[in-house]
Amino acid sequence: MKWPILRAFPSFSPRYLRPFIRICAQRSALATGKKLHAMVLATGLSTTENSFLLNTLLHLYASCGDISSAQKLFDEIPHSSKDAADWTSLMSSFSRQNRPHDSLLLFAQMLEKGAEIDDVAMVCLFSACAWLRDVGVGSQAHGRVVKMGFERRVKVCNALMDMYGKSGMVEEMRRVFSEMKEKNVVSWTVVLDGVLKWEGVSNGRQVFDDMPHCNEVAWTIMIVGYVGNGFSKEGFLLLSQIVFHLGIKLNYITLCSLLSACAQSGDVAMGRWVHVYGLKMMGMEMDIMGETALLDMYAKCGRIDTAIKVFECMPRRNVVSWNALLSGLAMHGRGQLVINMFPRMIKEVMPDDLTFIAVLSACSHSGMIDQGSYYFDSLQSVYGITPKIDHYACMVDLLGRAGRLEEAETLINKMPIPPNEVVLGSLLGSCNSHGKLQLAERLLQKLILMNPRNTEYHILLSNMYALAGKPDKASALRKVLKTKGISKVPGMSSIHVDGQLHQFSAGDKSHPKTREIYIMLEDMIQRLQSAGYVPNLSAQVFPGDDAGVELEKEQALFSHSEKLAVCFGLLSTEPGKPLYIFKNIRICRDCHAAIKIVSKIYDREIIVRDRNRFHRFKQGSCSCSDFW
What is residue 61's predicted lDDT score, i.e. its pLDDT? 84
- pLDDT for 3 equals 45
The Cα 292–Cα 319 span in angstroms is 10
List helix spans (H) across 349-454. Answer: 353-366, 369-383, 389-401, 405-414, 421-434, 437-450
SS3 category, 160: helix
pLDDT digits (tens, 9 = 90+) for 47-102: 666 667 778 888 888 888 888 888 888 888 888 778 888 888 899 888 888 889 99
DSSP string covering 50-105: T--HHHHHHHHHHHTT-HHHHHHHHHHS-GGG--HHHHHHHHHHHHHTT-HHHHHH
- For residue 502, the cross-strand partners are 495
Determine the length of the chain. 628
Higher pLDDT: 486 or 220? It is 220
**More confident position, 343 or 477:** 343
H helices then E strands: how many in the chain?
33, 6
- Percent of the chain having pLDDT more than 90? 54
- Between CA 457 and CA 465, with CA 459 as vertex, the angle to 5 degrees is 105
pTM of the model: 0.79
User: How confident is the model at residue 46, as a pLDDT?
Assistant: 65
CB 575 within 8 A of CB 567: no
What is residue 420's DSSP assignment?
-
Q: What are the pLDDT digits (tens) for 267-309? A: 898 899 999 988 887 665 678 898 999 999 999 999 999 999 9
The three-state DSSP-derived secondary structure of 498-540 is CCEEEEEECCCCCCCCHHHHHHHHHHHHHHHHHCCCCCCCCCC
Letter for the amino acid at 381?
A: S
Q: What is the mean pLDDT of residues 189-217?
A: 94
Q: What is the mean pLDDT of the chain?
A: 88
**Above 80 in pLDDT, residue 256?**
yes
Taking only the tens place, the pLDDT of each residue in 469-480 is: 787 888 887 787
pLDDT single digits (tens) 554-565: 888 899 999 999
pLDDT at residue 9 is higher than 60: no
Contacts 24+ apart (CB under 8 A), 488-491: 488/455, 488/459, 489/455, 489/456, 489/584, 489/585, 491/560, 491/561, 491/583, 491/584, 491/585
Q: Give the gyration radius of the chain's Cα atoms.
A: 28
CB atoms within 10 A of CB 381: 8
Residue 327's closest CA among 390, 277, 400?
390
Section 197-218 average pLDDT: 93
3-state SS record for 600-625: HHCCCCEEEECCCCEEEEECCEECCC
